[in-house]
Amino acid sequence: MARRIEHFPNLIAMFFARAAERGDAPFLWRKHAGEWVATSWADAARQVASLAAALKAIGLNPGDRVMLVSENRPEWCLSDLAIMAAGCVTVPTYTTNTERDHAHIIENSGARAVIVSTQKLATTLMPAVVRSAQAQHVIGMDVLRLGQTGIDCHHWSTLIAQHPADLIEAAAAATAQRGDLACIIYTSGTGGSPRGVMQHHGAILHNVAGCAAIILEDFDDRGDEVFLSFLPLSHAYEHTGGQHFPIGMGAQIYYAESLDRLAVNIEEVRPTVMFVVPRLFEVLRTRIAKAIEKQGGISAYLLRKAIEIGAREYAGRVRIVDRPMQLAIDTLFRPRIAKRFGGRMKAFVSGGAPLNAEVALFFHAIGLTFLQGYGQTEAAPVISCNRPRAGVRMDGVGPPLAGTEVRIAEDGELLVRGELVMHGYWRNDAETARVLEDGWLHTGDIGEIDTGGRIRITDRKKDLIINDKGENVAPQKVEGMLTLQPEILQAMIAGDRRPYMVALIVPDPDWTQHWCAANGEACDFARLAQDAGYRTAIGAAVERVNRDLSVTERVRRFVLADAPFTIENEQLTPSLKIRRHVIRAAYGDRLDGLYRG
């Protein structure tokens, strides 16, 4: 049975309680000089208490906002906890933010101090800090060279060394109540300028307790949970799921070196729980399938059989004649896959965007437990999650967390109420009034609730495409089906108030190379985009998808994108969702052109 989380008054009380219990046991791990190095719970508590004392000593007061700009590393977690321990409010921001993004968040939040990790990140950040009217202090995790800026510059480790603090006194000084503001997390801006979501201590604690009751409920909990953190900690999903939830569980947290090293880190760290986004597992599915098919022989055969039988198993139609093959898959195939994922993985928890059923079925078939959850930053962020005991579920996101009310409005929108719901958007009363009514959060998602209380999300309300006949199309469904084709890496469809759907397609680079080799063509994409044979091959993939779509949903015409959607070109959010408004701005004329002639 998983550990039940006590009723804490604030996040800092939970942290200090776990640190007192765990003592010298390892807590935070990072890779240094090729070796994993740990910070113990006791040392982490000492650093948090000392940094909190330092923040007070340089003049920060309760309620002051402190911006945090860093990649995932132990100092991120310790800084976040120290900010809250000082009575201040954390304002996490993405490392991919531009100078303009930083300027907006500094000005909007009124941050009085900034903690930044590296010189490289400080280079983008400092012009915004210097121009701000409020920011007075910059604290570098690494030693920074900032020149004459007029801003007080401090070194993270030096501040800690200069302000030793008593742990008992530090814990006693953390007097925040569950309703007090803990952090302001700016949404990643899929539809426009980021808004600051005010998350209070109780909202995150509600999530921590709810996740502990759900995610590990059916697993053997020996108190040795290991999390591997790789999603940005500035995102609410990782901030709660990859940091505060492990703290509540008294778990160890490893920080992945990079996305490129993630597979290697998984094998090294052998995590028991990971929070993931669907896009990552769409990529992993493709890589695993290609690698096994390339091996050929028994491995490729067993993969095909695993997927075939897994589909029947999910549908409840497994045949007696399947049992010998199931035994072979369980004995010869799944253990090899499990080893690639560390060998002790209890569950992957997918959130942040809808999970394509075909992707979920693939991971179920190869023997990995996949729990689909649902939430948003405005709910700290987890609202619901499938239960392990219910078996694999691909058609929904499970029942809500304990203490969470949900209902469906007349227009189909899912509404949520409970301690997890934000108090509002920072300095934005109009938007707050729009999404919060009588304590109910209007999620902007269209959904259904079955007789068992399980939620199924059908699409984003604001992303629904309404054609010129008034018929609705859910773009994420169509886009998900397109990107499962080997020819297509990414896609965005359009067609609002138009007679039919059109698509912007990013071809898959690996498939493109194979096509070029098979057709004796040079892989010059600018020329390929005009090649009739190349476009016909991609068109064939679109037609395969169209066969499984209604007439209204089918993509009639498409145009090829100039380059992939990336975080760097701002066409993806840091959590790998497409930014529709940015992509439309770049390709709107070409998409409109598909309706002419």
Domain architecture of the chain: domains with CATH: 11-217 (3.40.50.980), 275-343+346-460 (3.40.50.12780), 465-593 (3.30.300.30)
| 3-state SS, residue 340 | helix
> The tokens of 536 are what?
């016909």
Average confidence (pLDDT) over 16-39: 97
**Exposure string for 95-133, b = 16+ CB within 10 A, e = fewer:** bbbeeebbbbbbebbbbbbbbbbbeebbebbbebbeebe
Among 354-358, 455-459, 581-585, name the one with the lowest average pLDDT: 354-358
Bridge partners of residue 449, in order along the sequence: 455
Measured CA to CA, the distance from residue 562 to residue 301 in angstroms comes to 37
What pTM did the predictor assign?
0.82
Rg, the chain, Cα only: 25
Query: Strands, DSSP E only, in 319-461?
Result: 347-350, 370-375, 382-385, 405-408, 413-417, 436-437, 440-449, 455-460
- Specify the DSSP class assigned to residue 329: I
CA dist 579 to 116, 188, 466, 549, 571, Å? 26, 9, 19, 24, 5
**Exposure string for 166-198, b = 16+ CB within 10 A, e = fewer:** ebeebbebbebebebbbbbbbbbbbeeebbbbb
User: pLDDT tens for residues 519-563?
Assistant: 988 888 888 988 999 999 999 999 999 998 888 899 999 999 999
What was the pLDDT predicted at 216? 64
Segment 287-293 long-range contacts (CB within 8 Å, at least 24 positions apart):
288/337, 288/366, 289/362, 290/510
Residue (of 249, 253, 224) closest to 36 by Cα position:
253
Q: Which residue has the higher pLDDT, 206 or 394?
A: 206
- Specify the DSSP class assigned to residue 320: G
Q: How confident is the model at residue 347 (pLDDT cuts 50, 70, 90)?
A: confident
Query: Given a cut of 60, is residue 191 above it in pLDDT?
Result: no
Q: How confident is the model at residue 471 (pLDDT cuts 50, 70, 90)?
A: confident
What was the pLDDT predicted at 1? 38
Measured CA to CA, the distance from residue 119 to residue 126 in angstroms comes to 10
Residues whose CB is less than 8 angstroms from the CB of residue 437 and which lie 6 or more positions away in sequence, other chains included: none
| Phi then psi dihedrals of residue 198, to 5 deg | -90, 105
Average confidence (pLDDT) over 247-255: 96
Per DSSP, the residues of 35-46 read: EEEEEEHHHHHH
